[in-house]
């Protein structure tokens, strides 16, 4: 087939994001275009063995992923190979969060969960340690003109307290992270995370954990609040946005952020 520049951009972006819904593709690449035209073009790419569809979104829609051949052609080192349909809505929501962060100039060097897991499995293939625990993503932010490394957790539904105690206890031991940022569906879950974090830290102040309400963040990211037990700041006043990259890094490019010749984040320091 003859690929248009838009086709190439769609494939490159899928290589970066891993998965996008039809609606996300339409908003990114088909502004003011009829939905039937969007679906027709996606079917053409599907018939050309460049993308394939995954069913299972809560709204009944479908998501799109690169085929193995297309991933190799666009240079995507870590395409998603397997999908859990129970988590597909979460995966698509995470792509939305990434897109909002990058368009708002709030983040760069995004590395998603599936890349972290692949790297962790390669690095620990000969190890007898427990299965590594990784966040939904890691990325860098600029704060006070310094590069900060953030682990992101996207929560569409709450877990039980014991589960959060286990997760946050492992985060507590990570010395290379500036923040563990939870995006939660409501204030109640954010406050519950604060209580678990306070218990783990013996009520000593530890500002590693912060949280924001997901719908507010998606609606108005720069004015959404990053909150904790001790602070509440809008992202606009909390993070430097002018120097952030809007174009996402190609999937597979792990952030190696050097400060005074020291690498403060790599796969080994990020995997839990």
Where are the chain's structural domains?
A: 5-81, 95-270
The pLDDT of residue 79 is 79
The pLDDT of residue 158 is 93
CATH number of the domain located at residue range(s) 5-81 in this protein? 1.10.10.10
Per-position DSSP letters for the chain, written without gaps between them: -PPPHHHHHHHHHHHHHS-EEHHHHHHHH-TT--HHHHHHHHHHHHHTTSEEEEE--TTS-EEEEE-HHHHHHHT-SS------GGGHHHHHHHHHHHHHHHHTT--EEEEEHHHHHHHHHHHTTT--SPPP---SEEEEEEETTEEEEEEEEE-SSPPPHHHHHHHHHHHHT-SS-SEEEEEESSHHHHHHHHHHHHHHTTT---TTEEEEEHHHHHH-GGGSEEE-SS-EEEHHHHSB-TT--SSPPPTT-----EETTEE---HHHH--
The pLDDT of residue 17 is 93
The neighbouring-strand residues paired with 54 are: 63
User: Using CA atoms, how far apart are residues 161 and 235, in angstroms rounded to an integer?
Assistant: 27
Per run of 10 residues, the mean pLDDT along the chain (length 272 residues) is 90 94 96 95 96 93 94 86 83 96 93 82 56 86 90 95 95 91 98 96 93 97 95 91 45 35 41 50
Which pTM value belongs to this model? 0.85
């Amino acid at each position: 087939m003859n690929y248009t520049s838009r086709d190439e951009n769609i494939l490159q972006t899928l290589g970066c994001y891993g998965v996008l819904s039809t609606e996300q593709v339409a908003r990114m690449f088909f502004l003011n275009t009829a939905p039937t035209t969007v679906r027709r073009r996606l079917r053409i790419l599907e018939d050309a063995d460049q993308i394939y569809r995954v069913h299972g979104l809560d709204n009944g829609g479908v998501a799109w992923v690169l085929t193995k051949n297309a991933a190799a052609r666009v240079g995507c080192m870590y395409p998603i190979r397997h999908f859990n349909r129970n988590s597909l809505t979460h995966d698509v929501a995470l792509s939305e969060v990434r897109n909002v962060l990058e368009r708002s100039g709030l983040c760069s060097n995004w590395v998603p969960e599936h890349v972290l897991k692949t790297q962790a499995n390669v690095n620990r293939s000969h190890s007898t340690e427990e299965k590594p625990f990784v966040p939904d993503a890691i990325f860098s932010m600029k704060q006070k003109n310094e590069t900060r490394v953030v682990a992101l957790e996207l929560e569409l539904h709450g877990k039980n307290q014991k589960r959060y105690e286990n997760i946050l206890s492992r985060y507590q031991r990570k010395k290379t992270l500036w923040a563990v940022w939870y995006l939660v569906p409501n204030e109640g879950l954010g406050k519950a995370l604060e209580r678990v974090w306070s218990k783990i830290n013996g009520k000593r102040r530890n500002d590693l954990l912060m949280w924001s309400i997901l719908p507010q963040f998606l609606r108005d990211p720069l004015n959404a609040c990053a909150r904790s037990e001790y602070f509440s700041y809008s992202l606009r006043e909390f993070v430097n946005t002018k120097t952030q990259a809007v174009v996402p890094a190609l999937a597979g490019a792990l952030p190696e952020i050097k400060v005074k010749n020291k690498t403060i984040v790599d796969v080994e320091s990020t995997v839990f």
